[in-house]
């Protein structure tokens, strides 16, 4: 771990101090801290996570750009220790040409439905702008990512390594048309992940998402078909979502949102997007409906309240959650987020609750 920390720090310093001063450069520093307390009644725990993120970017000629960022994370004590974890975060080289662009490095990727795969991945992506929409093709690898940020939990052994995410190769083909019939934005994606570990669990996804803005309303529809291969067996799974957003014509800038998600019992996403701010459930054999209201009272203060209901894929009720958030930004580079909520399960096993405070300071 010490050697990994030294390598990350050396790479960052080398980039910061070796670039010619004549180039247009941008430096920044972000401090992100979150403290929380909660859990099952009678078994509450305190947790803390703080990350210091230096970043640097520069243009390379007229068409290129280089961006690098790293993180030094401190997590809450584990068995009497306070782990310090180094990470190489988004670090990519991008190049624009006549009909598209090329990116390579540690870059952000999201499937048409983010609950399939979303986050940082190592690899390369090529995109083309055509008369029939934007087409992209990419190849990525997960085995060098920090496992908690990658959040890949497809098999029981995916968390075995103390630092690195499980090794998987990912190929992605995407198509997007921003204004079909002058009203619908269409995103279509083909994604394949191939397990390079001994588990040999591979899967492929066909996903589509439609977004339709109508006056003060935005409607989202999405669906996914997954095929799964593992030693001696194969399966098919489904998942989908429905979203409805309404900008309310009231004194405060406010929005009412309805979100529904469904997944069959065998659905297995590449990355885990947890459902619920307190429950934090994995989207597999799970359905949820959430109603969310947010209001911006002025340039400094906004608030939100969400109510969610959870069932399994067969429709059996699992519980409901209520969570509220308060946002305060006294200046453009300082944010405070206070949140708290309660999950009440169907069975009388005790409520699950959480209270958390997040502070972000950005120095440009």
96-106 tens-digit pLDDT: 998 999 999 99
The whole-number pLDDT of residue 81 equals 60
CATH, residue 315? 2.40.160.100
Averaged pLDDT score across all residues of the chain: 90
Distance CA 288, CA 245 (A): 17
Nearest CA to 91 among 191, 20, 192, 8? 8
Residues in the chain: 364
Answer yes or no: is pLDDT of 315 > 90. no
Distances (CA, A) of 154 to 99, 161, 315: 37, 14, 24
Residue 339 has pLDDT above 90, yes or no: yes
Q: Cα-Cα-Cα-Cα dihedral of 103, 109, 113, 116, to 10°?
A: 130
Residues 260-271: pLDDT tens digits?
999 999 999 999
What pLDDT sits at residue 221? 97
Q: What global pTM score does this model have?
A: 0.90
pLDDT of residue 281: 94
The confidence score (pLDDT) of residue 270 equals 97
Residue 245 has pLDDT above 80, yes or no: yes
What is the domain count for the chain? 1
Is 334 a residue whose pLDDT tops 80? Answer: yes
Q: Quick one: pLDDT at residue 80? A: 55
Domain that holds residue 83: 2-363
Give residue 75's pLDDT: 85
């Amino acid at each position: 771990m010490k050697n990994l920390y030294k390598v990350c720090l050396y790479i960052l310093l080398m980039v910061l101090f070796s670039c010619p001063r004549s180039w247009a450069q941008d430096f920044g520093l972000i401090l992100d801290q979150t403290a929380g307390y909660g859990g099952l009644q009678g078994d509450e725990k305190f947790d803390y996570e703080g990350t210091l993120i230096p970043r640097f970017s520069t243009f390379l000629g007229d068409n290129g750009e280089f961006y690098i960022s790293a993180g030094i994370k401190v997590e809450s004590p584990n068995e009497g220790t306070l782990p310090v974890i180094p990470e190489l975060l988004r670090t990519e080289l991008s190049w624009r040409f006549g009909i598209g662009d090329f990116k390579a490095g540690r870059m952000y990727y999201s499937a048409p439905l983010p609950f399939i795969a979303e986050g940082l991945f190592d690899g390369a992506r090529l995109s083309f702008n055509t008369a029939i929409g934007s087409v992209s093709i990419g190849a990525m690898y997960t085995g060098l990512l920090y496992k908690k940020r990658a959040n890949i939990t497809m098999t029981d052994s995916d968390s075995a390594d103390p630092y690195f995410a499980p090794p998987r190769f990912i190929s992605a083909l995407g198509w997007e048309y921003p204004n079909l019939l002058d009203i619908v934005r269409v995103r279509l994606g083909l994604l394949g992940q191939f397990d390079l570990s001994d588990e040999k669990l591979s899967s492929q996804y066909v996903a589509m998402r439609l977004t339709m803005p109508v006056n003060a309303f935005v409607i989202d529809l999405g669906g996914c078909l997954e095929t799964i291969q593992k030693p001696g067996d194969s399966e098919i799974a489904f998942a989908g979502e429905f979203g409805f957003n309404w900008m309310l014509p009231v004194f405060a800038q406010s929005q009412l949102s309805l979100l529904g998600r469904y997944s069959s019992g065998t659905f297995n996403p590449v990355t885990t997007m947890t459902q619920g701010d307190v429950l934090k459930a994995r989207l597999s054999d799970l359905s949820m409906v959430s109603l969310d209201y947010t209001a911006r009272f002025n340039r400094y203060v906004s608030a939100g309240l969400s109510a969610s209901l959870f069932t399994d894929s067969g429709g059996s009720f699992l519980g409901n959650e209520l969570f509220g958030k308060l946002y305060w930004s006294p200046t453009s580079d300082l944010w405070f987020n206070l949140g708290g909520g309660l999950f009440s399960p169907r069975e009388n096993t005790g409520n699950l609750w959480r209270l958390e405070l997040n502070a972000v300071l950005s120095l440009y």
